[in-house]
Amino acid sequence: MVKPLPARDEVDERFTWNRQSVFGDEGGWEKAMQEIFSRLPDLAEFKGHLGDSPDTLADWFEASERVHRLMAKVMVYSTMAYSVDVGNQESAARADRARSTAAQLGSAAAFAIPEMLQIGLPKLREWVGTAPRLAYLGHYFDRLEKLQKRVRSAEVEELLTAVSDPLASALSVHSVLANTDLKFAPAVGSDGELHEVAQGTIGALLTNPDREVRRTAFESYADQHLAMQHAMAASLAGGVKRDVFFARARRYASSLEAALEPSHIPTEVFHNVVRTFRDNVGTWHRYWRIRRKILGLEVLKPYDTRAQLSSTVLEVPYEQAVEWIVEGVAPLGDDYVAAMRKGAFEDRWVDVYPNKGKRMGAFSTGAMDTPPFIFMSYNNDIYSMSTLAHELGHSMHSYHARRTQPYVYSNYGLFQAEVASNMHQALTRRHLLATKTDPTFQVAVIEEAMANFYRYFFIMPSLARLELEVHERVERGVALTADALNKLMADLMLEVFGSEVDVSGRDRDRIGSTWAQFHTHLYSNFYVYQYATGIAAADHLVGRVAAGDEKAVESYRAFLRSAGSMYPLEGLRMAGVDMTSPEPVEAAFATLASMVDRLEKLAPPMAPATPPHEWGGVSLRPSP
């Protein structure tokens, strides 16, 4: 009998995020929505007057900030409610209303940048130097100057902002299909026991030591996505056409350029990742060979690529995971640790466990006037601990940025974001490898590392290659179909599997559906390559930070605080890494290779089950 996930209202409140800290109830949210609409006419009064005086321009920035900060709270609150129960129609309606309101606000403010450019950058810089209320905006105007050739007239900017809401429908459709309409058959263990397959459980099922659980979970999950493949392909085609539309509207040469230039990142950084990845796929082939031998299998199948390698299961309760992460990031300072611990335990930043209707994935969210919340589905294993470390890295990045920077610089790009998240994982991993010397425990930690590399140095670069190809196809006027997407995805994954993973029959279509299984990433316009740059930058910096090098720690924390006040590549140079060079990505692959070496030495072919071990309340028990 399959054990059902709890309904949302059955989850212990201690392990849910504190939505009431944003608004006390839906009435408070409605009041905020009304206030936003009441302020739109106030913003309109500035139109045509920003150049009247420095004080008028300063008044605009303050008025715009007030309403945008309130809008951010509205968005966070509605996202928090919808993500934990995507079947709740009231929450879905509020999320949709919030998106529409944000688009209206964007349209109301769209005149400002074209009007500032009409004032002229020399005059704006003069005001920055002479008007104290504008003194902090120097970097803002520098960015504006670099992007001014992409800015259209006020009327066109208003239209482009207004259409952002309907053009986001493709993502909404894909998300509803994936998180609400897909109904997965349960996985079946070799003992006949049923295991519920859901967005919040699939990760744990694919690492299960029982091969039948893995196989049936893999097949159930992929087959349901294949059942929806044509609708999902149509949605993705809509998302890519949106990207191409905006790129052409702003006169970019390509969608890739349109995605990277606003963050001041040269396209060569993207191509460095892809080239270095392709040059190093042999490391993955070697890993599959070693994995097959350790598992004692004649043939390695796709559902074995994440299988647990040890004959024991490391169970890591949430509370222990937080403690190990705290110990790992301790070099970043006592104040850093205290804030993170308080958020994870007392202030309920984290929505911890799976429940029925909870959407897939994990993310950090929040705004200037809210805590940096974390969404995840914790499964009491080391992989969940790794995800928690990752998202706490994002949240601590936001915590420092929002407490340090003025609103206009409080946000940071994805390129910076993935460095902070991967730094947490790298610090935690190094701590555990240095302090837990039992070989079985070490194998578990290396498995976590390899799972991280699997996602960020295999799946994400493969998705980045797919993303580039599908955007270029749409730019050439080629239609995107499910069959074409499945074939392209399967070909890309087979390049990394090589001859070491047996992908035959229906399994080719199943791995080909991987594009459909990433329900938000491919709608974020060249987001996924930044996982690889993030892990590379963190890997480059972690040694000196973990060693407590005061200069390295302070420069890294300065990077966290800098947020949008610096260009992303400059902020990383300040921290100590040059991401315009392929060297950091190459060095990260060297780390991956060293993990494979270490695994080969530590993990002989499946040893007999060992007696249970305990480390501070964490059990390491024999696998079933």
pLDDT digits (tens, 9 = 90+) for 324-334: 999 999 999 99
- What are the residue ranges spanned by the domains of the chain? 20-167
Q: Quick one: DSSP state of residue 376?
A: -
How far apart (Å, rounded) are the C-alpha atoms in residues 229 and 336? Answer: 45
Of 146-150, 173-177, 187-191, 492-496, which range is least confident? 173-177
Tens of pLDDT, residue by residue over 83-112, are 999 889 999 999 999 999 999 999 999 999
Residue 623: is its pLDDT beyond 60? no
- 3-class DSSP assignment, residue 538: helix
Distances (CA, A) of 98 to 20, 29, 504: 17, 10, 45
Tens of pLDDT, residue by residue over 485-507, are 999 999 999 999 999 999 999 99
How large is the average pLDDT for residues 424-446?
94
**Res 606: pLDDT:** 52
Tens of pLDDT, residue by residue over 371-404, are 999 999 999 999 999 999 999 999 999 999 999 9
Q: How much of the chain, in percent, has pLDDT values that exceed 90?
A: 80
Tens of pLDDT, residue by residue over 223-241, are 999 999 999 999 999 999 9
Per-residue pLDDT band for 154 (boundaries 50, 70, 90) equals: confident
**Res 327: pLDDT:** 98
Percentages (nearest 5) of helix, strand, coil residues in the chain: 70, 5, 25
Residue 525: is its pLDDT beyond 90? no
Per-residue pLDDT band for 618 (boundaries 50, 70, 90) equals: very low
**Res 47: pLDDT:** 96
Distances (CA, A) of 378 to 72, 155, 388: 27, 47, 8
Catalytic residue numbers read: 391
| Rg of the chain in Å (alpha carbons) | 24
Tens of pLDDT, residue by residue over 535-580, are 999 999 999 999 999 999 999 999 999 999 999 999 999 999 999 9
Per-residue pLDDT band for 296 (boundaries 50, 70, 90) equals: very high
How far apart (Å, rounded) are the C-alpha atoms in residues 304 and 497? Answer: 12
**Res 3: pLDDT:** 67
**Res 86: pLDDT:** 87
**Res 399: pLDDT:** 98
How far apart (Å, rounded) are the C-alpha atoms in residues 70 and 105? Answer: 11
**Res 610: pLDDT:** 39
CATH topology of domain 20-167: Butyryl-CoA Dehydrogenase, subunit A; domain 3 (1.20.140)
**Res 164: pLDDT:** 83
**Res 132: pLDDT:** 98
Per-residue pLDDT band for 151 (boundaries 50, 70, 90) equals: confident
pLDDT averaged over the chain?
Answer: 92
Distances (CA, A) of 97 to 35, 75, 94, 203, 556: 14, 9, 5, 32, 39
Closest of 200, 223, 189, 530 to residue 383, by C-alpha: 200
Residue 616: is its pLDDT beyond 50? no
Place of tokens 């796709």: 302
Residue 605: is its pLDDT beyond 70? no
